[in-house]
Amino acid sequence: MLTASAVAGHADFEAVCLRIGAVWGPHGRADSPFFAIPGLVNAAVRGEPYARKVHAGDGIDALYAPDCGRAIALLQTAGTLRHAVYNVGSGRVTANAEVAAAIAKAVPGAPIDMAEGRSPESPDEDHRLDVTRLQDDTGFTPAHGIDGAVADYVAWLGGRTEASPNR
């Protein structure tokens, strides 16, 4: 961020930095060492249990890839941006239990095994990104809730799913 600001200060352009949260979905990693969503969905589509231990109460500010792309496009095409830094995320924590429920709807009978509560290694609480600047300056809100995002991703992966409302 400092380098971008310094260069922009001596050039004829504006630099805006983006803090992008946990993005998952089409063309992304099938699994992430940082959060379980992509791995859980990919395992469900394959009909396999997820290989790592997951706790239902753990969560993260996760944003579906098409929504992330739209947020970045809105920032790039905005007439005026009032800030030098924007958080790009959903603005809410999605718990693994919510992901499991969405998978159960999109891939009926998928083997989902989750431990109750929070992981002993997780922080006391999960944090969300403050996306107020993004919303105020671009009008962005995610188009996909977790149910729609999981259904859309399952369909993209070629798996079983109910009709996705966001395709």
pLDDT of residue 123: 84
pLDDT of residue 167: 39
Q: Does domain 18-157 have CATH number 1.10.10.10?
A: no
What single string gives the DSSP state of each residue in 41-83? HHHHHHT---SS--BTT-EE-EEEHHHHHHHHHHHHH-S----
pLDDT of residue 15: 86
Report how far residue 94's alpha carbon sits from residue 71's, in angstroms, rounded to the nearest whole number.
Answer: 18
Strand locations in the chain, DSSP E?
Answer: 17-20, 22-24, 59-60, 62-64, 85-88, 94-95
Give the domain ranges of the chain: 18-157
pTM as predicted = 0.87
For the chain, helix (H) and strand (E) counts, in that order, are 6, 6
Report how far residue 62's alpha carbon sits from residue 117's, in angstroms, rounded to the nearest whole number.
Answer: 19
Choose among 52, 4, 14, 18: nearest CA to 138.
18
Report how far residue 16's alpha carbon sits from residue 74's, in angstroms, rounded to the nearest whole number.
Answer: 13
pLDDT of residue 165: 43
pLDDT of residue 101: 98
Q: How far is CA 93 from CA 27, 90, 99, 121, in A?
A: 23, 8, 11, 17
Report how far residue 75's alpha carbon sits from residue 155's, in angstroms, rounded to the nearest whole number.
Answer: 28
pLDDT of residue 164: 41
Choose among 49, 35, 45: nearest CA to 94.
35
Q: What are the pLDDT tens digits along the chain (167 aa)? A: 555 554 545 567 778 999 999 999 999 999 999 999 999 999 999 999 999 999 999 999 999 999 999 999 999 999 999 999 999 999 999 999 999 999 999 999 999 999 999 999 888 888 999 999 999 999 999 999 999 999 999 999 997 554 444 43
